[in-house]
Each structure stands twice: as C-alpha cells, then as structure tokens.
Amino acid sequence: MDPYEIEFIGENRIISIIPNFTYDKIYLICGEFGPFRAGLPMNVPLWLALMLKQKQKCRIVPPDWMDMDALENIKEEEKRSRFFTKMPNEHYMVEAKLILGAASEDVPNASEIKTVIKDIWDIRMSKLRTSMDALMKSGGGYGRLDHLTMMEINSVKPLLPAAMDSLLRIQMKSKKTTPANLNVSSFSQSGGSSQNI
C-alpha cells in the first residue's frame, strides 16, 4: 500500500469545524452532514474540512488529543513502555500532517505539537525496528505487536516479509545441503506480525 492510500483512508475520520457560511444538510455517500450554521461547531469528515479550509470557508477545531500536555503524556508513556502504547487514534500521523499542514493557525502551539508528534513517531519507529531486528535474529516466525497504526505497519511492509522470505530460502537451501533428516519437517511459516501485513 502506498502512504497516499493510507492517507486517503485516514481522511475519512470525523473532526470538528466551525463554518463561516450557512447551508442546510448535505447528503453524501458516507452519510449526511449539516446543517451548516455560521459560527457554530459541527462534525464533518477530515477531507471535507480540509477542502472547506482551503476555500477559507471554515475554521478547524483541533481534536482533543492534539494538545501539548496530552501529547507529552503519550510521549512519556511511549518512552517508558517496552511495548507499543495505544495512540489517540488509528491515524494520528495522517490527521496531524493534514491538520497542521492546512490549518496550523487554528492549532495553538502548532510547531511544538509538530515536534512532539514527530518525537512520538520516532520512538515508535525505533521500537519497531528493534523488534523486527529481534525477530529476525531469533529466527522465529511469529511475532505479535499491539497498538500499531496503519502507517507504521505500512512502513515495514515492503521490508519484513521480503527479509523473512530470503531467510527462509537460505534456511531451506542449507537444509537441502545437509543430509536429509526425516525428523526435520516443520518449517514455521513466516507469518509476520499479527496485524495486517
């Protein structure tokens, strides 16, 4: 999957905006939204919010988790824990990128938030890499990682199965060269991590 595809999926999330025009309900394929009333907050999908923002028709309300204290807490949690902690939502990276990109003036402390989110991302990526490394080194075929977001999984998608595949081939080759031992039968299938790879 392309990162753009994940971004597309992430854009479907609902965020809150304050329109500056008045319009009644709109009926979209994904659902109905509205009526739009100038000055009052309402919920719309992220892609719609961005489009309206670019046309200067609304003001985006940053989601609850996009706040310095909350993010600092998440970062501390992530640093402390050996495993992955639950992220505020499945597509935090996508949301952060889009909102901070298009509507940074609506978000207080936008640059600091960018830094903190980037830190969280880096911590998680490094954990992912070490865990992959451990998986490869131990030669195991099955690993389980919870609370990974789509974007993170996607970043290792090209690499991990290919690596394990090569490893398997090398193993098979080496097994072929050694005298055939009837007991050796079970190859643990390289399953990868439990979540959709």
Partner 1 sequence: MKIQSKPLRYAHAEGHTDVCYTEDGKNIVTCGNDGDVRIWLDIEDDDPTSHCVGESALAVCFKEKRLYVANDNHAVQAYTYPAFNKDGIVTRFTAPVTQIKSSTKIEALGCTSENMEAKICSLEGGAPLFVMKDHQGPVLSVAICPHMKYASSACGDGVLRIYDIDTQKIIKEISCVPKINTFYAAKVLCRIDFEPTEGKYLAYPNNRDIILLDCESWSQRMVFTHSSIKCSISQCLFSPCGQYLAGSTVAGQIAVWEIESGNCIGIIDHPTSHNVTALAWNPKGNGVLVYCDIVGQLGMLTNCYGKDSSKSDTDVEMVDRVEDNDEILDNIIENYESDDDNAISLQKLRNETLGLDKDEDESRPGSRHTAQAPTIVGVPPQPPFQPSSTPVHLEHRYMCWNDIGIVRCHTGENGESSIDVEFHDTNIHHGIHLNNYLNHSMASLSSSVLALACETPSKLVCISLVGSSKEWSISMPDAEEILCITAASGIVACATNARLLRLFTSMGTQRQVISLMGPVVSLAAYNTTVFAVYHQSDPGVSDQHLSVDIVALNGRQVRCKSVSVPLTPGSRLSWLGATDSGSPCSYDNTGILRLYDIASGAWMPICDTTTHSRGASDSWFIVYISELTQKVRAILCRGASYPLTAPKPIVTELNIQIPLCELDSEKSQYEEQLVRWAHTTADVDIKTARETALKLFALACRSEIEQRALELMELLKDDRLLPLAAKYASRLGRIHLADKLTNIAQTWEEESDKLNVAQNSHFQELDTQETYDVNNTEDMNASLIIPQKVKQKVESMTPIKPVPIKCSPSGARNPFRKQQEATKNVQSPLTLTDRNLVEVHPTAESTENNDPLKPLVGESFMDWFSRNKTTLEEQNPELTPSELTRHGVKMFKNVQNKDESSKETGQKRKLEDSNGDVVNAPKQSKLSAFAFHKKT
Return residues touching partner 1 (CB under 8 A): 18, 20-28, 35, 38-41, 57, 59, 61, 108
Q: How far is the CB of 46 from partner 1 (least distance, A)?
A: 17
Nearest-5° Cα angle at 9, 12 to 115? 90
Beta carbon nearer to partner 1, 4 or 27: 27
Phi, psi of 39, rounded to the nearest 5 degrees: 90, -10
> 152-185 as b/e, with b when 16 or more CB fall inside 10 Å?
bbbbbeeebeeebeeeeeeeeeeeeeeeeeeeee
Q: How far is the CB of 92 from partner 1 (least distance, A)?
A: 21
Beta carbon nearer to partner 1, 35 or 158: 35
CA distances from 99 to 6, 53, 138 (A): 16, 10, 41
Beta carbon nearer to partner 1, 6 or 113: 113
Q: How far is the CB of 45 from partner 1 (least distance, A)?
A: 14
Going through 90-168 in order, the beta strands assigned E by DSSP cover 142-143
Q: How far is the CB of 44 from partner 1 (least distance, A)?
A: 13
Beta carbon nearer to partner 1, 56 or 138: 56
Spatial CB neighbours of 151, under 8 Å, sequence gap ≥ 6: 3, 6, 10, 91, 93, 94
Q: How far is the CB of 24 from partner 1 (least distance, A)?
A: 5
Beta carbon nearer to partner 1, 106 or 119: 106
